């Protein structure tokens, strides 16, 4: 599955944290805080799989939906990956704010834009071409890697396509 084939997702208002994590994993994930009609209309118009915990919204016709059962973030990530499929290695993470693929930049390009100790100790940086936010792995990377391992272990090889409602 190439990047152009990856699923396009839309998380409803209850799932902002999930949307940010899915972007970190490389999933094209829009996030919309709006009423059910607007959320459903955008999902249809953009051909996105709707992610929701709202049974009423999930029951609307003409939507591809992943109705999430869990309130736990890691469990929700597992539910989504099982439903839409795991992205292959090498897919660029997306900006957690803008949902745009991040571009790698060199340590020299971040001089004066990140703290000196970060520029001196980190070797891989990314920038959002839309908002300009610079990211690096940092001290939180160990936690992120642990969550990703939990997801991969839980997903295994079984996945199912999103259901049509």
Write the pLDDT tens digit of every residue in 76-118.
999 999 999 888 777 889 999 999 999 999 999 999 999 999 9
How confident is the model over 108-140, as pLDDT tens digits? 999 999 999 998 888 899 999 999 999 998 888
Q: Would you state the structure tokens that stand for residue 47, as one six-digit string?
A: 């051909």
Domain boundaries, the chain: 3-158
Q: Say what the pTM is.
A: 0.84
Residue 112 phi, psi dihedral angles, 5° rounding: 80, -5
Average pLDDT, the chain: 88
Q: Would you state the structure tokens that stand for residue 159, as one six-digit string?
A: 């996945």
Closest C-alpha to 78, from 150, 27, 160: 150
């Amino acid at each position: 599955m190439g990047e152009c084939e990856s699923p396009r997702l839309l998380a409803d208002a209850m799932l902002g944290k999930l949307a940010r994590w899915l972007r970190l994993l490389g999933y094209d994930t829009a996030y919309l805080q709006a009423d059910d009609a607007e959320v459903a209309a955008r999902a249809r118009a953009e051909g996105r799989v709707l992610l929701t915990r709202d049974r009423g919204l999930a029951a609307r016709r003409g939507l591809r939906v992943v109705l999430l059962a869990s309130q736990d973030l890691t469990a929700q990530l597992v539910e989504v990956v099982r439903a839409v499929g795991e992205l292959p290695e090498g897919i660029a993470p997306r900006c957690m704010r803008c949902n745009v693929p991040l571009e790698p930049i060199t340590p020299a390009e971040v001089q004066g834009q990140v703290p000196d100790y970060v520029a001196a100790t980190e070797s891989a940086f990314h920038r959002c071409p839309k908002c300009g936010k610079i990211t690096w792995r940092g001290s939180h990377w160990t936690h992120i890697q642990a969550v990703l391992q939990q997801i991969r272990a839980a997903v295994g090889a079984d996945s199912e396509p999103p259901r049509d409602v």
